[in-house]
Structure 1
Amino acid sequence: MAEGHDHGHTPAAWTAVVIMFIGFCVSGALMVMDQPVAFWLSLIIIPVGGVVGAVMRSMGMGKKPAPPLRVTGD
């Protein structure tokens, strides 16, 4: 399958996605409950997930950079 590929399985990525998922669930529930003000306020949770993921990545919990490729001459 995807041998040797890293598809964002890092603490930073998981935390960001979980926070964003919670934001979508809360806003969806508030939409069904007909709470428009709370719905719009709950949408703030979604970008917070992105910020938390970026901060965690900058702290070293994200994907490690790939080592540089070595090119050999003919």
Structure 2
Amino acid sequence: MSNPIADPGHGHSPAAWTAVIIMLVGIAIGTGAFFLNVPWLVWSCVVLIAIGLIVGFILSKVGYGVNGPKYTPKEH
């Protein structure tokens, strides 16, 4: 145990959490809309999922990603 494995920090950032939350909301609403046969809402949720991906990418580039200057990792 002389060299503990360091956490690579994958996904533990405001950019990642924001993107995942937006996409999960889109998937949850889209699944319900698919079940209820509401095609326009299903396609709106597909767009929402794409928006979540774009928002996560933008936040990462602005500095809220794992190695960004505006992100400070929390101690466990």
TM over 0.5: yes
**Amino acid of the structure 2 residue aligned with 1:25:** A
Task: Map residues 46-57 of structure 1 onto 2, 5 A cutoff.
Answer: 46-57=49-60
What stretches of structure 1 of length at least 5 have no aligned partner? 66-74
TM-score, normalising length: structure 1? 0.77
The alpha carbon displacement at 1:22 in A equals 0.5
What stretches of structure 2 of length at least 5 have no aligned partner? 69-76
Q: Larger Cα Rg: Structure 1 or Structure 2?
A: 1
Task: Map residues 1-74 of structure 1 onto 2, 5 A cutoff.
Answer: 3-5=5-7, 6-64=9-67
1:21-73 deviation line (CA, Å, top 9, x unaligned)? 001001001011111122122210001011100111111100117xxxxxxxx
**Amino acid of the structure 2 residue aligned with 1:58:** K
- Aligned-pair identity in percent equals 33
| Cα RMSD, aligned residues only | 1.7
Contact persistence 2:16–2:56 (CA under 8 A): yes
TM-score, normalising length: structure 2? 0.75
Q: Which runs of 4+ in 1 moved over 4 A?
A: none
